Amino acid sequence: MKIYLVGGAVRDKLLNYPSDENDWVVVGSSPEQMVDLGYQPVGQDFPVFIKPQTGEEYALARTERKSGHGYQGFTFHTAADISLEDDLIRRDLTINAMAEDHRGQLIDPYGGQRDLQAKLLRHVSDAFTEDPLRVLRVARFAARYHHLGFSVAPETLALMSSIAASGELAHLVAERVWKETERALCERSPDIYIQVLRDCGALQILLPEVEQLFGIPQRADYHPEVDTGIHTLMSLQQAAKLSDKAEVRFSVLVHDLGKAITPDHVLPSHKGHEARGLPLVKEVCDRLKVPNDHRQLAMIVTEFHLLCHKAFELRPETILKLLKGIGALKPDNRLEEFLLSCEADARGRTGFEDRDYPMAEYLRQAREVALEADISDLVATGISGAEIGAQLSQRQTAALTEFKQNYPSD
């Protein structure tokens, strides 16, 4: 029985890149022996065990054979005579098919270290095409390591394109698509995930609403980059600089979906795209089973981002309506995430990348003013119900009027 450190921990150690998990492969053992040694079985499809002392996963070396559709369409075989090389060849990329023994000796049968040096994401074997989830995984690794100069090898991108054309992506369960997408959104360059999916034809299948943004023109005076799809990628780049939250990055990704269905006779204007986009955002969230916190933020960003950009121009009544619409006056509000999403949108334009976004501070202070409005004296007179709400709105509007008049201008 031999135990090897495999996969990401080995890869990131060679890259001197942060890594927070270790995966282990056990060669020459059996499920019974693992249990006898105190490991706890957790795998359903193939033998995976947890070492109680560390909580880390130990998997028996295995081979696999395609037996159906999707990433679950495999049968696995484990036996004491399966070698480490047999196990590694089933992995997706050469940089993930390396191992390290107990002495720290590198085992690299498929050229992973060479591809690390060449900064290439390259498949291990043609068996790559058997698992459609690998299209998303490669795109995610491209997003993770793009800032280091990594790119997808042309031959691997060709295989990803063949998977997209085969129809296999349609068999991926929504939860796995979302899991990979959410992880990719949290990587260093989430825009690269979208670009790689687009390059291989997978974006049209997985996120057609985003794919359809490319080629849609916008007014050049507002958007020098013109193309809506490019603006979306640029906004995602800005979101990655402003926040590490997946909710913010997802909201930025989908905030302009309504522009894809702007009537041709209206272009390049997109008046009303916010309302047009709401059903599309809902459709994406329903299809991918997006968590409610992501969905809620995406909906308010889609609906209200243009009002946020125009905050200084808004009447006090409209400012109050905006604050209420995004739930900013509630204790569990999402104001900061909303403002970060809007700032990413504003800065995701050619020549605007480093511009300040003073509207954010303006709305933060407006919220505080609205919250300070007090009607306790009126409540003491006995009014109740809807009248309380009406009176509170009146006083909040009056306070916001004074705030707007006295707010310092540049």
Among 346, 334, 272, 265, CA closest to 303: 272
Distance (Å, rounded) from C-alpha 221 to C-alpha 206?
32
The confidence score (pLDDT) of residue 77 equals 66
Strongest mean pLDDT among 61-70, 83-92, 371-380: 83-92
Taking 90 as the threshold, does the pLDDT of residue 172 lie above it? yes
Q: Residue 328 — left, alpha, or beta (φ > 0 → left; ψ -120 to 50 → alpha)? A: alpha
Q: Is 67's pLDDT higher than 50?
A: no
pLDDT at 73 over 60: no
Examine the pLDDT at 43 and tell me if it is beyond 90.
no
Residues with Cβ < 8 Å from 395, sequence gap 6 or more? 373, 374, 375
Q: How far apart are CA 180 and CA 314, in angstroms?
A: 40
pLDDT confidence of residue 206: 98
Q: pLDDT band at 267, cuts 50/70/90?
A: very high
pLDDT above 90 coverage of the chain, percent: 81
Closest CA to 235 of 344, 83, 333, 141: 344
| Per-residue model confidence as pLDDT tens digits over 341-362 | 999 999 999 999 999 999 999 9
Quote the CA–CA distance of 383 and 255 in Å, as a whole number: 41
Tens digits of residue pLDDT in 21-39: 899 999 999 888 989 999 9
How far apart are alpha carbons 341 and 88 in whole angstroms?
A: 41
Q: Measured between alpha carbons, how far is 314 from 305 in angstroms, rounded to an integer?
A: 13
Report the pLDDT value the prediction gives residue 374, as an integer from 0 to 100. Answer: 85
Phi, psi angle pair for 320, to nearest 5°: -65, -40
pLDDT at 151 over 90: yes
* Average pLDDT for 115-135: 95
